[in-house]
Every structure is written in structure tokens, then in C-alpha cells.
Amino acid sequence: MDISEYPPIEGKRFDQWEPWSGRGVPTRETCDVSNPRQAFLWMFTAAPGQKGAPLIMPVEFYEMQSYHMWVLGARPQRPPELKWRPPKNMVANQWGAQGEWVDKDEPDVPQQTMADIVAKLPQQDKAELKELINSKLGMEDVADPAVPAGWLRVDDLAQRLSLDVDRVRDLLADFGMEVNAFDLVSRDISERITAHLGLT
């Protein structure tokens, strides 16, 4: 029987339940245990007997297994006795992350970020790294590569409108948006604010 032919759960078939959209590999913290498609998904990460990869099939395969288990009557009932610890110094991915299951009470080791690694480099190495990024990745002529086309940071919008950042945040709150100074807003929203202020 194909998963699309399984009985609906709460009136929704498999493809109508929200798929997992986390980053890296599924963990309990990134799965919605009330969603049949995700409820057991995290349990398949680094299952016993797997070597070399935390998931050996695509995530959707395990989402189908989770849904299958739910249809058959399984439900998450008790908190887990183990937690999955991702590998150090890298973003976990389903094909190569070497994380491990550990006791739930074992303290978490702080994960090292790229910023931590770069901060430890000597100044000369930092300068070489900057030059390498600029020359090899073509970012030299880009004002702020973190801001995608069609978007503005809130602080940039405030500067363009000659307003205090907090005033712009209040205006955005009027549009139903709770933002910080470095959050992004679409140019469409910025144009609406400009029109609202009568600056067009």
C-alpha cells in the first residue's frame, strides 16, 4: 500500500502534514512530536547498527516510517533516556555527521562556531582569509552579501528614512512585524512605510 493510500489522521493525509524543515539532521528539538510525519522521525537519526552516516535514506523516507508507526497506533509517551549529540566543529548532515547518543543528563559540550575558529587565528591569517574570500568567492564588490536582493536590514532602512531605529521598529510593529535592528524587511514593506510617512 502506498503511503498516499494510508488512512488520514485528523482528516489529513501524509502529504498534507507539514514536512520536517530543520537544518542538519532531525533531532527531538527540531521535530513536532504532535505531527505524525515528524513524531518519530528524530528516533531514526543514528539508529543502532548504522555506520558512517546518521541517516542512510532521505529524510522523507523516515517521515513515511513515522507516519506508518502513527497509523499503527504508536505515540510518543515518555521522555527519552538518551539525547543525540551532534559532532563538534561542523553542521550535522545526514550523510556524514558522526554524532552520538548519550545519556540525557550528560552536560552538552559547547559547539564551536566558525566565528570561534576565526577568532583564534593570528591577525596575518585573518587577513589572508579575508583576501581569499574576497578574491575566490567574488564578494569584494558586494556591500553586504548577507542581505539578499529585494531586502533591507532594519537599521539600513532607518538610515535611509533618517529615522531612529526604534522608530522604524515601532512603524514595523504597526504592520504586524516584531523585528530587531539587524532583521531583514522586504523593499515592498519599506516602500509602504515610506508612503505611510508621506515621503514619496
* CA 32, 37, 43, 44 torsion-angle sign: negative
CB 158 within 8 A of CB 168: yes
Please state, in angstroms and rounded to a whole number, the distance separating the CA atoms of residues 22 and 64. 16
CB 61 within 8 A of CB 82: no
The percent of residues in the chain predicted with pLDDT above 70, rounded, is: 86
Domain edges within the chain? 1-109, 151-196
Please state, in angstroms and rounded to a whole number, the distance separating the CA atoms of residues 53 and 12. 32
Q: What is the pTM of this model?
A: 0.54
Q: C-alpha cell of 136? A: 575566490
Interval 41-69: pLDDT, tens: 999 998 888 777 788 889 999 999 999 99
Interval 137-162: pLDDT, tens: 655 555 555 677 778 888 888 888 88
- For residue 154, give the nearest of 198, 195, 187, 176 by alpha carbon: 187
Phi, psi (degrees; rounded to nearest 5) at 117 = -65, -45
**Range of weakest confidence among 38-42, 48-52, 92-96, 124-128:** 92-96
- At 163, is the secondary structure helix, strand, or coil? coil
The percent of residues in the chain predicted with pLDDT above 90, rounded, is: 30
CB 158 within 8 A of CB 165: yes
- At 170, is the secondary structure helix, strand, or coil? helix
Q: Tell me the Cα Rg of the chain.
A: 23
CB 129 within 8 A of CB 165: no
Interval 14-31: pLDDT, tens: 999 999 998 888 989 999
Please state, in angstroms and rounded to a whole number, the distance separating the CA atoms of residues 69 and 63. 10
Stated as kind and residue range, the H or E segment containing 135 is: helix 123-136
CB 101 within 8 A of CB 84: yes
